[in-house]
Amino acid sequence: MPATEEIPSDAGVPEPRKRSFLSSWAVNVAIAFTALRTNLMRSMLTMLGVMIGVFAVTLAVAVGNGATEAVTESINRFGSNMAIIFPAPDDGETGRPRRRDIRGRLTQRDLDAIEKEVPNVRAVAPQLRQQVDLVVAGNSTSTSAIGTTGGYGTITGHLTDQGRYINEADVRSAARVVVLGRTISDDLFGGLDPIGESVRVNGVPFTVIGLLERRGSAISGDQDDTMIMPIRTMRQRFVGDSLAGPDDLASAFVGFDETATLEQGKRDIASVMKARYRVKQGEVSPFTIFTTEEFVEQTSIVTGILQAVLVSIASISLLVGGIGIMNIMLVSVTERTREIGLRMALGARKSDIRNQFLVEAAVLCTLGGAVGLVLAALSGWAVSTYADFPVPVGLGTAVGAIIFSAFIGLLFGGYPAVRAARLSPIEALRTE
C-alpha cells in the first residue's frame, strides 16, 4: 500500500492568514520608519514634546528617589538604631493640641535613669548646642558646637581618625579641649596638623585633641562643619545662664544594640520618663521621643509628596506632547489618504490600516522617549557628580519611561488611526 503523503495543515489557507502576528507588526514598524524618514524634520519636531515630557518626568522620579536615598543614608550615618529625646511637650498619644503651659523637661538624671533601667541600651549621649566663633592666628570661622560625652561618637559612628575623642575624664574635669570637623580644621589651620594646637572659642583658649573622620555633605548639610567639646565645659562656659536647670539638656541620643527593636525601646524610654515625671494616662508628656525609623518614614512621606507634585507638573509637558502627536498624525492621515485607499483596494483590512498608524505613533513617541531618557540619565549623572546629590535613573525607571512613551503614542494616536481605518476606499482614491 503506498505511503500516504502528509498534507500540510495550512494547505489552502490564503497567504495573508499565514503571516504571524509578529511579522505583521514588524512590517508596520518598517512602514513607520519609512514614513518618519520621509518627513524627518516634522518627525523630529513632533518628538520634541514627548522628549521634553519624558525627560522632565524621569528626572522628577529620579530626584524623588535620590532625596529618599540621601535622607536614609544620612540617618544611617548618623546612627541607624537609636532614639532621640527632646525636651518638648508631646501629646501625640491623646490626639489633643499641645498645651503651651507645660514646660518641656530633659535632664542628665533622666538620661542616667534610662541608661540604667532600659534594656539593650548600647550608649547614651546628652547634648547641648551653641553657635560659637573660632579664631586661630588671624583665621576665623563660626560653627555649631556640640557639648556631649564619648557616647556621642559611639552612637553616631563619627569618630576621630587623628588624635583622640573626648572621654569621661574630660567631661568630669570640664577640660578645655575640642575635637574638630575637617571643614573647621581646613578653615583655621589649612593643611597643617592641628593636634595639640590652641584655638580660641568665643575668646576662650581650647586645645585641639582630635580630628573627626571626613564625611562630606548630606541632605542636612556639611557634616564636617562641626566641633565637639565636653558637655560640662559647654555648660559652664557658654550656655549655663540660658538653661532652666543645672543639668538640663537640649536633647539626648539613646543608642540600642543591633538586635533591639526600636519600637519597644521607645516604649521603654517613655515608661521610664513618665514614671519620673508622674505623667498619668491621657496627660501631656513633657518630652518627645523620635526613633530613626520614624524619621525615615516621615521623610519618605514628604519626599513622596514632593515627587508626586514634580511628576504631576512634568506630566503636563507629556500631555502637550501627546496632543502634538495626535495633531501630526491627523495631518499625516490627510496627506496619505490616496495611499490608504490604494492599500485598501489591494486587500488591506481596516485593522491593518489602523495598526499601521498606531505603530507609527508609538514608534514616534518611543524614539522621543528614548532621547528624553538619555538626557535625563546624563543630567542625573551630572548632578550626582558635581552637586554630590544622588539622582539615580534605575533600570526600572528607564524601562517604565520607554513603555510609557509607547503608551502615549498608542493613546493619542488612537483617534487618527481609527479615522484612517474608517475611510472609504473609493472616496480615498478620488482624493487629490
pLDDT of residue 2: 46
Pick 299 or 247 by higher pLDDT: 247
Average pLDDT along the chain: 82
Q: What is the pLDDT of residue 223?
A: 80
pLDDT at 158 over 80: yes
pLDDT on residue 13: 43
Beta bridge partners of 177: 207
Cβ-proximal residues to 20 (8 Å cutoff; 6+ apart), any chain: none
Residue 191 has pLDDT above 60, yes or no: yes
CA distances from 186 to 209, 212, 274 (A): 15, 12, 45
pLDDT at residue 388 is higher than 80: no
Residue 180 CA to residue 18 CA, distance in Å, equals: 78
Q: Which residue has the higher pLDDT, 196 or 301?
A: 196
Q: How far apart are CA 199 and CA 144, in angstroms?
A: 15
DSSP 284: P
Confidence band of 147 (pLDDT split at 50, 70, 90): very high
> How many angstroms separate the Cα of 247 from the Cα of each of 239, 242, 271?
11, 12, 21
Query: Which pLDDT does position 204 carry in this prediction?
Result: 92
Over range 10-34, report the average pLDDT: 60
**At 222, is the pLDDT very low, low, confident or very high (cuts 50, 70, 90)?**
confident
For 342-386, how does the pLDDT look when each residue is reduced to its tens digit (9 = 90+)?
Answer: 878 877 788 878 888 888 888 888 888 889 899 999 988 888 888
pLDDT of residue 78: 65
